Copies of this chain bind each other. A is one copy, B any other.
Amino acid sequence: MIGYGFMGAAHSQGWRVAPRFFDLPLTPSMDVVVGRDASGVAAAARKWGWRESATDWREIISRDDIDLVDIVTPGDTHAEIAIAALDAGKHVLCEKPLANTVEEAEAMTDAASRAAARGVRSMVGFTYRRVPAATFARDLVAAGRIGDVRQVRAEYLQDWLMDAEAPLTWRMQKDRAGSGALGDIGAHAVDLTEYITGQRVETVSGILETIVTERPLLGEGVGLSGTARQERGAVTVDDLALFTGRLSSGALASFEATRFRTGRKNALRIEIAGSLGAISFDLESLNELGFYDSTLPETEQGFRRILVTEHDHPYLAPWWPTGHMLGYEHGFSHQVADLVTAIASGTQPEPSFDDGLHVQRVLDAVERSSNDGSAWTPTGS
């Protein structure tokens, strides 16, 4: 595993727990975690249970005893590491977003293609597809239970930047983060829409907005007379992204990604209206799916709150009895289970680098539309 931030903790939990609940065809072994700071990464290795730590990812990639590389570093480093790993014949799991630019993402899908020809697999980490309620939503849509998709609403609402005095971190600087709410969380809303509907966003119109344009710099000093004097820097990414996309079938989907929706903490929500029914999901109630069946008698129709904790729901069989809830990190175990199973069976895991590239193109088109007065802009897919 390359990287050891928040995502490192989540991925480690996935590698650790998946084999204890799922019957995997191969047994993963948590060999090496890699980071630039030797003592930091050594501590992470101890804490999370990796056998070794290292500071040079190139060295690790060249080792024969390593079969798979899990990339959880910031987005600007994904392309270099993933391409090198794939070319070295290692399977790759790469955290989203696939890259910070479309060009990098294209180079990565090329490498993934070359690798696939040699039986080497690659996967991008849109973990929320593996929340059982989301997977079950996809199954219902695929089975025709909501009929034709009429319209979609997808939003990812957070509020952690609400405080205008929260400091300026790298996540608010375009050169390092690529974009703000758009790429960080909007990407999930786009991927979930494409996953559940089985369609792609083909053109977009939207606007990116920075609500608080200046924030205190971190670690600033104290003025001459002892008065606190706080320097400020410009926020160069979006706090809020509002956009509309047209799907392959022609249906419209409206999107919102925001870090300023006061009171909403992690509300990735999607509602899909179809000709025969509707699906409604909110990550803040992650064990539930709303389902509306328009084929029932009119007086009996209503949104049904399905607790997605039955043995026959996706991913549920190895876990707990009905009504016992899963949490955020279970998706990472499901991701490991699916990836390992695909590798063992020689099939392409999903979401592929192609899927990741497509999301990148949507994000890029939104940014260009915003710069062009919200003009409709093709995603090139």
What residues make up the interface of A, taking CB atoms closer than 8 Å to B?
A: 6, 10, 12-13, 16-17, 20, 47-49, 136, 146, 150-151, 153, 158-160, 162, 164, 205, 207, 209, 211, 240, 242, 244, 251-252, 254, 256, 258, 260-263, 265-267, 271, 273-275, 277-278, 280, 283-286, 289, 291-292, 294, 298-307, 309-310, 312-313, 320-330, 373-376
Decide yes or no: A211 and B302 within 8 Å by CB, A20-B47, A273-B159 being known contacts: no
What's the nearest-Cβ distance from chain B to residue A105, in Å?
26
CB–CB B275/A151 < 8 A: no
Residues of B within 8 A of A298 (CB): 310, 312
Number of copies: 4
Residues of B within 8 A of A256 (CB): 153, 254
CB–CB A252/B209 < 8 A: yes
CB–CB B302/A274 < 8 A: no
Contact residues of A: prevailing secondary structure: mixed
Give Cα A159–Cα B207 distance, bound, in whole angstroms. 28
A-B contact pairs, 13 of them (CB 8 A): A12-B20, A16-B17, A20-B47, A151-B258, A158-B323, A262-B294, A266-B321, A299-B306, A301-B306, A302-B305, A325-B327, A326-B327, A326-B328
Decide yes or no: A262 and B136 within 8 Å by CB, A20-B16, A252-B207, A325-B286 being known contacts: no
Residues of B within 8 A of A325 (CB): 283-284, 286, 325, 327-328
Give Cα A101–Cα B333 distance, bound, in whole angstroms. 40
CB–CB B150/A262 < 8 A: yes
Residues of B within 8 A of A158 (CB): 323
Residues of B within 8 A of A271 (CB): 261
Residues of B within 8 A of A258 (CB): 151, 273
What's the nearest-Cβ distance from chain B to residue A247, in Å?
12
